[in-house]
Amino acid sequence: QVQLVESGGGLVQAGSSLRLSCAASGRTFSNYAMGWFRQAPGSEREFVAVITWSGGDTYYADSVKGRFTISRDNAKNTVYLQMNSLKPEDTAIYYCAYGRDPYSTIGYSSARSWYDYWGQGTQVTVSS
């Protein structure tokens, strides 16, 4: 059974940093790309970042580029999202997700349909 469990969210002030973690199980983690999405109240779930199965390639949404960093530790079956210089507009529930196909390149990885398993989410709230 595939499981993704996010952690690390919280309430912080603008300009602060947070590191989210996503622990994966039930699949050979190192074979799959991993992504982060977020969903604010009343909004669609939107792409944040993705990392390939090897960690050799990453891609970010323009809104977080230069502030957020995605990384992974295949020995720990965990993907991370380091978030710096947080803004109130970063407030959302953050979800991690498994890429659908093993050993895939970052093709259309900003699309939700590119992923097949999702975590339950972790809340990030940034106050001004």
Count CA within 13 A, CB hemisphere, residue 126. Answer: 18
Give residue 52's pLDDT: 96
Q: DSSP labels for 24-64? A: EESS-GGGEEEEEEEE-TTS--EEEEEE-TTS--EEE-TTT
What pLDDT score was predicted for residue 33? 96
Report pLDDT digits (tens) over 51-109.
Answer: 999 999 999 999 999 999 999 999 999 999 999 999 999 999 999 999 999 998 887 78
Confidence (pLDDT) at 108: 77
Is the predicted pLDDT of residue 111 greater than 80, yes or no? yes
Cα distances from 36 to residues 7, 24, 128, in angstroms, run 12, 13, 24
Name residue 83's beta-bridge partners.
18, 68
